[in-house]
Amino acid sequence: AGVFIFLYFKNEFILLAFLRLRKQDFDGAKKWLDKIKNPEAALVKKQQGYYSYLHGIMTMQDNMNESEKHFKKAIALGLSMKHDLAMAKLNLAGIAFSKRRKREAQQLLTEA
């Protein structure tokens, strides 16, 4: 019964994507996240935050604008663990610094 309660609060596709990211398998993580067809309807608010957080991590190498959008959405929706929130803000600070927005980057670093 504990497994079912755990999976109610944590989406299994998001957990599997986290496991793939841990092994630096970005394609495998993307495959698991793509199985969630409509995240707004299928996931609760915190899960949507982690969905956006994972997309932000995966798009960081290719498209910084898209990654910034995902990280901001993840912060707005909320992340349940403080270290995940700090990592999202740290990544946003790096993006802001690379776009020469020093004041915004400094504020995000302070918050992180």
pLDDT single digits (tens) 12-41: 788 888 888 888 888 888 898 888 888 887
Q: How far is it, in rounded angstroms, from Cα 17 to Cα 25?
A: 9
Confidence band of 109 (pLDDT split at 50, 70, 90): confident
Q: How far is it, in rounded angstroms, from Cα 21 to Cα 13?
A: 12
Residue 92 confidence (pLDDT):
92
- Residue 6 lies inside a defined structural domain of this protein: no
Count how many domains the chain has. 1
- Residue 2 lies inside a defined structural domain of this protein: no
CATH number of the domain where residue 98 is located: 1.25.40.10
- Residue 50 lies inside a defined structural domain of this protein: yes
Find the angle CA(99)-CA(105)-CA(107) to the nearest 5 degrees: 155
**Token reading at 96:** 């802001």
Q: Where in the sequence is the domain holding 96, given as residue range(s)?
A: 12-111
- Residue 99 lies inside a defined structural domain of this protein: yes
Confidence band of 73 (pLDDT split at 50, 70, 90): very high
